[in-house]
Amino acid sequence: MTAGVVTLLPSPTTSVWWLGPVPLRAYALCILAGIIVAVWWTQRRLQVRGGTAEQVLDVSAWAVPFGIVGGRIYHVVTSPAPYFGEGGNPWHALRIWEGGMGIWGAVALGAVGAWIGCRRHGVPFSGFADAVAPGYLVAQAMGRFGNWFNNEIHGPETDLPWGLTVYQWDQAAGHALVDASGAPIVKGVFHPTFLYEALWCLLVAAFLLWLERRRTLRPGQSFAMVVIGYPLGRFFIELIRTDEANRILGLRLNVWTSILVFVLGIVLFRALGNRPDETPDRTSDDTPDETPISQHTE
C-alpha cells in the first residue's frame, strides 16, 4: 500500500450509543431503517396492484421475523467457529446486534414467512413478491452500512482513492481500540466491499424499475430478476472479501451459493414466463393496475 495515501472513506469509530442503560446499535438501526423503507415502498407497489397497505403490514409481520431468524441461522451455520469452535461461546450466537446476518438465509426463511402471511391474509404470493422486489434491494443496501459501522467485511488492502480506513475493533464494546494518546488504532486501508454491494443493490433495483416500464412481466418475474441480479454482483464481491469464511474446493461458500441462486433465478424467470396467464401484472408504479391483486392468477 502506498504510504501517505489520502482516502475518501473513513470508518466510524463507534457503533453503539447509550440512552441511559439502553444501547442503540448502528447495525440494528441500519437493518431497521432498511425494513421501514422496504415496507413503505412495498405498500405503494401493492396498492398499485390492487392490494392494501394493511396487507403489507400483515404479511411483513410474518416475513420480517422469519427473515431475521433465517439470516442469523445461516450466518451461524456457515461461520460456526466464533460460537462452537475453540474459545467460542455458543450463547453469542444469539447476539444478533453485534452483526452477522446471512442474506441467503434471510431471504429463504423470509420467503417462507411471507408465504404464510400471504396465505393467512388472502394475498397472492407472487404479487407480494413482485411488490417487495426493489424495496428489498434498497433495504439490503442500507443494511450493509451496519457492516461499515462495525468496521467489518472488507476486501484486501488498497491505495485507491476510495479505499476504506478500518480501525482495530472491540466488537463487544462497539468501538475502535485506541492507543496511549486516545487516537483510534488504524488497521489499514481496504476495499470497501460493503459499499460495492450497496451500490450493486441500488443498480439492480434501478434496472428492475426500468425493465418493468418496458416489458409486461408475468407474476413473480420481478422478484425472479432480484434472484438473478443480486447473486451476480455478490459472486464477484465474494472473490475479494478477506473475512474468514468456510471454503469448498478453494472458493468461499458464498461464491458457490451465489452461483446456485443465480441459476435458480434464471430457471424461475423462464418458468414464470412460460406460465399461462390471461391477466399479467401491470408493473409500473405510476399506472394503476386494471386487475385487483385479489384476481391475479397465482
Summarize the confidence of residues 65-94 as an average pLDDT.
Answer: 83
Rounded Cα gap, residues 212 and 220, in angstroms: 12
User: pLDDT class for 278, splitting at 50, 70, 90?
Assistant: very low
CA distances from residue 66 to 23, 60, 131 in whole angstroms, order as listed: 24, 9, 18
Least confident of 77-86, 182-191, 285-294: 285-294
Q: pTM for this structure?
A: 0.85
| DSSP summary character for residue 217 | P
Position 259 pLDDT exceeds 50: yes
Share of the chain above pLDDT 90, in %: 70
User: pLDDT class for 277, splitting at 50, 70, 90?
Assistant: low
User: pLDDT class for 151, splitting at 50, 70, 90?
Assistant: very high
Summarize the confidence of residues 190-203 as an average pLDDT.
Answer: 97
pLDDT at 24: 92
pLDDT at 81: 75
First to last CA, the chain: 55
What number of other Cβ atoms are within 10 A of residue 298's Cβ? 11
Mean of per-residue pLDDT scores for the chain: 88
Rounded Cα gap, residues 163 and 191, in angstroms: 5
pLDDT at 279: 47
Q: How many CA atoms lie within 13 A of 150 on its CB side?
A: 23
Rounded Cα gap, residues 255 and 261, in angstroms: 10
